[in-house]
Amino acid sequence: MTSGLTAVERALRTAAPYALLDALREHLARSYGVATTELLLADYSLTVLQQVTDLPLTAPPVSVHSSAPGRAFGSQQPHAEAADDTGRVLLHLPVTVRGDRLGVLSLSLDGDALTPERRDELGEIAEMLGHHILVAERDTDLYLQARRKDRLTLAAEMQWQLLPARACAREEYAIGAQLEPAYAIRGDNFDWSATEDRLTLAVTNGMGEGIDAALLTNLAVNALRNARRAGVAIADQAALADQALYAQYRGDAHLSVLLLEFHLDTGLVEIVDAGSPQLHRLRDGVVEHLPFVAQLPLGLADDTPYEAQRIRVRPGDRLIFVSDGVHAVASRSGEVYGHAALARAIQSTRLLPAAEVPRAILTELAAHRDDEPLDDALIVCLDWYGRHPAPADAHPR
């Protein structure tokens, strides 16, 4: 790490959680000749970037789709534009943590000083800033406030706080996910966790409206996490969560879940299908709906037994998980979205990275709805690359 990077890392590590940007501005100005430093974060609907300011929402939002910062955000590559006629440039750098796209760091500096090496170093600083933002969010609301262009409902606040990242990338897979209506989501949710050998993914759909749906989903997701962290198999994870929900609601409320555990070394997937979320697979250019033996939703009956089913994924597979707010939504004329329309949307987004697919499909879904009020809609995209075997010389003889 260069002395400049070391100094910036130290400044971010020692800054107050709400003062990361001030600390970064000072060091970028002194060490890199940066005249202005601004941080823009993506809002919950992934449609605009909003500047982080001391008083939230005091700067105009910037479109993700039609702006220079939005170009850097979408491409996940640095993008430079002329700042004025003095030779200064605006450099927009994606702020991303392990595949989760947080926003864009925009810097104004002398174009002649922007060497490829300096651009790479500033890109590392943008990534470094992302990691520190995630830590700082435990102690300040500043960055969370900057992400909302509208006020969240209380149910939506509970749901977003429950979620992991909206995207994740590793050697074996890449995941992207999105919930709508982003500012009023109620019962839909997703969760994932990885170890060296396994990836566990849960796609949930809780019944009910508003706070009731959010409370049900919170209990279910935490019950699943508690069982997962106890190290039990996914069928037992479903059974334990089912018991927790039935003990609380006595069958008056239930939650649908598609629970999956991926074996990263072999591509084997164990699946518990307990309700309405569906799985569609894009393989070799063909979209298929993969049905499983339906089991009872969690919490519907006492001591429900669950069994895991098995499939195998191949490198190059794209898996799309959707809630019933996607596959069962009807237009104003009563036409159900259905498999054919969803297959077309999956095909039309096949060249996009996993992190961008859910937003793109939800945009097509909105056109189908003809402005009808949106039920909870959840899409998770998982691209499977598989684990590459270590080279023979990587192991000591």
pLDDT digits over 103-142, tens only?
999 999 998 889 999 999 999 999 999 999 999 999 999 9
- The pLDDT score that the predictor gives to residue 29 is 94
Mean pLDDT across the chain: 92
Binned at pLDDT 50, 70 and 90, residue 326 comes out as confident
Give pLDDT, residue 395. Answer: 43
Q: Is the predicted pLDDT of residue 57 greater than 90, yes or no?
A: no
The pTM assigned to this predicted structure is: 0.92
Return the half-sphere exposure (C-beta side, CA atoms, 13 A cut-off) of residue 254: 18
Q: What is the mean pLDDT of residues 51-74?
A: 91
Comparing CA positions, the residue from 389, 383, 388 lying closest to residue 169 is: 383
Say how many residues make up the chain: 397
- Give CA–CA dist 50/127, Å, rounded: 18
Question: pLDDT for 296-305, tens place per residue?
Answer: 999 999 999 9
Of the listed ranges 250-254, 271-275, 329-333, the one predicted with least confidence:
329-333
- Listed in sequence order, the residues at least 6 apart from 75 whose beta carbon sits closer than 8 Å to its beta carbon are 94
Half-sphere exposure of 51 (CA within 13 A, CB side): 14
Q: How confident is the model at residue 2 (pLDDT cuts 50, 70, 90)?
A: confident
pLDDT for the residue numbered 247: 97
Q: For 231-260, how does the pLDDT look when each residue is reduced to its tens digit (9 = 90+)?
A: 999 999 999 999 999 999 999 999 999 999
3-state SS of 167-225 is EEECCCEEEEEEEECCCCCCCEEEEEEECCCEEEEEEEEECCCHHHHHHHHHHHHHHHH
Cβ atoms 70, 81 nearer than 8 A: no
Residue 67 is given by DSSP the state: S
